[in-house]
Amino acid sequence: MIATVNGIALNYEQEGTGADLVLIPGLGASVHAWYAQLKGLSPVLRVTAVDPRGHGLSEKPPGPYSLPLFASDIAALMNHLGLGPAVVVGSSMAALIAVELAATHPERVAALALVGGFPVLGAAGKERMEGRARTAETQGMGPLADAVASTALGAQTHQTQPALVGLFRQGLLANDPRAYAASCRALVEADITPRLGRIQCPTLILLGSQEQVAPLSAARALKAGIPHARLAVIPSAGHVPFLEQPAVFNAAILEFVGSLPLSG
């Protein structure tokens, strides 16, 4: 479904009734990444997955993009759909978007679940992300697919779920290179460190046990900065545990939601 908000057409999928759960995919992903959550959690929650600008079936205007821009898009969509206060789940880049959203629109966010997140990229990460942007602009997504998949998915996933690896690569290849580059550069500029102390809602930080992209030190930095945060590890998964171990991930989300005073 498409909604035009904040001057942009955003694609979203929604299933279920109950308290609101909003799912935001990471860099280069789309609502399809959340299929197991849309199906598995919608019997008890109203689940809304969103394609950020430049991603999936959402509009792909020229950059620059930024965390505040991504967050204001999501807030406008939530307002348009009458969502919230919601449990907002953000993966990777979208973990930063979710924190920005909670800091600037706290009335929309009942709780956060941050998956494979980090406060800011280090120097090497910024260089790597700028390199990705340049590669996408000059050579397209082809050269990036294997490199990104190799670190995003855990070792066990590569060994036991080759079909998932193939689908993950296909999703990366479907990206618009210019929009992907603009999103990479938004991450280069992003730093949510000053926002962390402003997050007053309950926060669950989720990490795959085989995470390579945003390792345990990044998760601990988030936990140290957010007043009401706890950390949980999903076994046998890398950077995208909701894809790699969906049943375990969904159970963790349901346990977290069950601990909250939500109405739906």
* Whole-number pLDDT of residue 262: 75
- What is the residue range of 58's domain? 2-120+192-258
In the chain, the number of structural domains is 1
Domain CATH code at residue 244: 3.40.50.1820
* 219, part of any domain: yes
Taken in order 74, 78, 79, 85, the sign of the CA dihedral is: negative
Tell me the three-class secondary structure of the chain, residue by residue: CEEEECCEEEEEEEECCCCEEEEECCCCCCHHHHHHHHHHHCCCCEEEEECCCCCCCCCCCCCCCCHHHHHHHHHHHHHHHCCCCEEEEEECHHHHHHHHHHHHCHHHEEEEEEECCCCECCHHHHHHHHHHHHHHHHHCCHHHHHHHHHHHCCHHHHHHCHHHHHHHHHHHHCCCHHHHHHHHHHHHHCECHHHHCCCCCCEEEEEECCCCCCCHHHHHHHHHHCCCEEEEEECCCCCCHHHHCHHHHHHHHHHHHHCCCCCC
* 142, part of any domain: no
* 61, part of any domain: yes
* 103, part of any domain: yes
pLDDT in tens, 89-129: 999 999 999 999 999 999 999 999 999 999 999 999 999 99
At 111, list the tokens.
């709780």
* 156, part of any domain: no
* Whole-number pLDDT of residue 264: 56
Low-confidence spans in the chain with pLDDT less than 70: 263-264
The residues, any chain, with a CB within 8 Å of residue 76's CB and separated by 6 or more, are 5, 6
* Whole-number pLDDT of residue 263: 57
